[in-house]
Structure 1
């Protein structure tokens, strides 16, 4: 049974020049936090697990909480033992019973307690404070100076503010991806995008988690590039080292063209691009730059590289001839020496 013929891969070949440069597909846009769901702002409210401090003031001694003993050290106020909001979202007040406090501000809870005890206490005034916030924590983990977990302050906090609290990123912003987890949704973008676009420095919400990951963009350099002459290990997978680079930058990072074997007329960039007919399909595309033409260097300095591009510099025809001769000549010399031995 004969194997079915393999259909050749179709691709698009584009010569880089003054006409094709303006029509180049821009590098892939970074995702943003524009679609991240948001909730109504509830900063400064009480949550489950918060520790509350409650102080009750009465108009004078002889009330519900303030004794009329002349040596009463507390004056006209009393501070109750701190209470932690339980899993049902309530606390218990003497002579006031259970009070639901989750989602309310300390001021609102103070008024509720005041109403509950007003029939027994002497013109009570109540002050409620959050001693220790345990609800609505923000987590910052990953490639940061030091992972941290902190409560969301009533004044709010932004992405960059939270990253600053964690000691900042360990790697450059263009090599750091920020992932935001919120209410079961996940969105990510580069830290450089947040820095360059202030609207992406969004306000955090209770329960958000930030994860910073080191992820550098890279390209591959193949063929007759200068790295082949490196004395150390050859790494053809080269990091951008910047937010954006051009083909000229990429060739320089790869060590340039090898003088003795590179074909300057045949510098190729391989990548997958979206179809020009509006379809979502990706089309293999090859860009050809002629560096023998002086204008080619200016084109290369304007040609934007995409992550995972492959740069290939072809060998010059004379190189292939040299390879052939290096194989044939030793055989010819050996044969000549063999024949001369029988004369």
Structure 2
């Protein structure tokens, strides 16, 4: 009887690949890792690699701080020079020491002049003429006016004060309590400053994304990351457009689990064990405890840190491609049969749009196949048991 069972199993191991199932077996995922489309036999197959989740991997991934705005998009830097721009309203006050000067009388030693910077960047000042203001600081403009008056006025002095400054404003819109154009102060303001001036976000930071449009460059980051990572809380620049959008972070749980679904984080952070638990865990009758996989597009710095530069270059030569945000496909393999997985899983962070897949045990397909071909119940049970031992 054992010989008959063994013969049936040998035939079934190849045939059971055609049995319907919920996604690939762990062995199929492992075999495709690191292979080129030509090796796999599919022209447009995605090239990826597998990384085992252990203490080192979990620590590297959790410690990595994404710098989407500052590094990836080149948007950042300090507050920059506060300069006058087109459309700005200025109050120029000219003082004279003499009683009967160009700008003074016996009763008043000063004359205030309100101007608006014209589209060509200039404005006219009496007895000075046309003055270029756009692109200059208040002090630079003051010195130019003062220089022009020294031969005309009696011991002149000048003070320039800013009024409305449309050239030094940013637009904040989207999921904020009050969309508005925000005028920047002279010391410079950061993303969180202008969002606060717009009434703050309408949703929690962990589900609010901030997009900064500056010229032809665009960068998006999670508000939670901006708050937690000061280097991401960049200084905004005049003319920036800032859009806040609500996008609840979700992950997808598939395979031999009790609930295949797309699930909201519903929390500030989420680890791998918590994510599996949100789907009510693996199906005890079908899941392969050694075959939990997390599919993700990861930042290149993390991929290189996990695989090494040589392996990364090898995979790119084979056809591994980045997505539109410059991230590369990686698959994390998690073995739930090890006791320390309960510790490692608590430190491995889940990210938005991750796909967690629990592969079914090979015995499931073998049992299906034996039943399809009409094998006696006893042989089917023995076949499943032998398959289970072989997989270990």
When the two structures are superposed, what TM-score results if normalisation uses the length of structure 2? 0.63
Shift of 1:258: 5.5
- 1:36 aligns with one of 75, 97, 101: 75
Counterpart for residue 335 of structure 1: none
- 1:268 aligns with one of 269, 274, 292: 292
Name which of structure 1's ranges 164-173 and 269-278 shifts more when overlaid on structure 2: 269-278
Distance 1:167 1:10, change over 3 A: closer
Kindly indicate whether residue 175 of structure 2 is the aligned counterpart of residue 146 of structure 1: no
Aligned length: 302
Shift of 1:284: 7.3
3-state DSSP class of the match of 1:87?
coil
Inter-partner Cα distance in structure 1 for 2:152 and 2:294 = 83
Structure ID, larger Rg: 1
3-state DSSP class of the match of 2:139?
helix
3-state DSSP class of the match of 1:188?
strand
3-state DSSP class of the match of 2:225?
helix
Inter-partner Cα distance in structure 1 for 2:80 and 2:207 = 32
Q: Tell me which protein shows more helix as a share of its residues.
A: 2
Q: Tell me which protein shows more strand as a share of its residues.
A: 1
Counterpart for residue 170 of structure 1: 202
3-state DSSP class of the match of 1:114?
helix
Inter-partner Cα distance in structure 2 for 1:148 and 1:53 = 25
- 1:287 aligns with one of 329, 333, 337: 333
Kindly indicate whether residue 345 of structure 2 is the aligned counterpart of residue 311 of structure 1: no
Counterpart for residue 50 of structure 1: 88
Name which of structure 1's ranges 28-37 and 96-105 shifts more when overlaid on structure 2: 28-37
Counterpart for residue 262 of structure 2: 237
Structure 2, unaligned stretches of length 5 or more?
Answer: 1-39, 298-302, 322-328, 372-392
Distance 1:76 1:215, change over 3 A: same
Q: Is the 8 A contact 1:244 1:304 kept in 2?
A: yes
When the two structures are superposed, what TM-score results if normalisation uses the length of structure 1? 0.71
What do you get for the CA RMSD once the two structures are aligned? 3.9
Inter-partner Cα distance in structure 2 for 1:38 and 1:135 = 19
Distance 1:13 1:109, change over 3 A: closer
Shift of 1:127: 2.0
Distance 1:13 1:120, change over 3 A: closer
Kindly indicate whether residue 289 of structure 2 is the aligned counterpart of residue 252 of structure 1: no
TM alignment of 1:94-243, pairs within 5 A: 94-223=126-255, 225-227=257-259, 236-242=261-267
Inter-partner Cα distance in structure 2 for 1:40 and 1:162 = 13
Shift of 1:12: 8.9
Q: Is the 8 A contact 2:52 2:332 kept in 1?
A: no
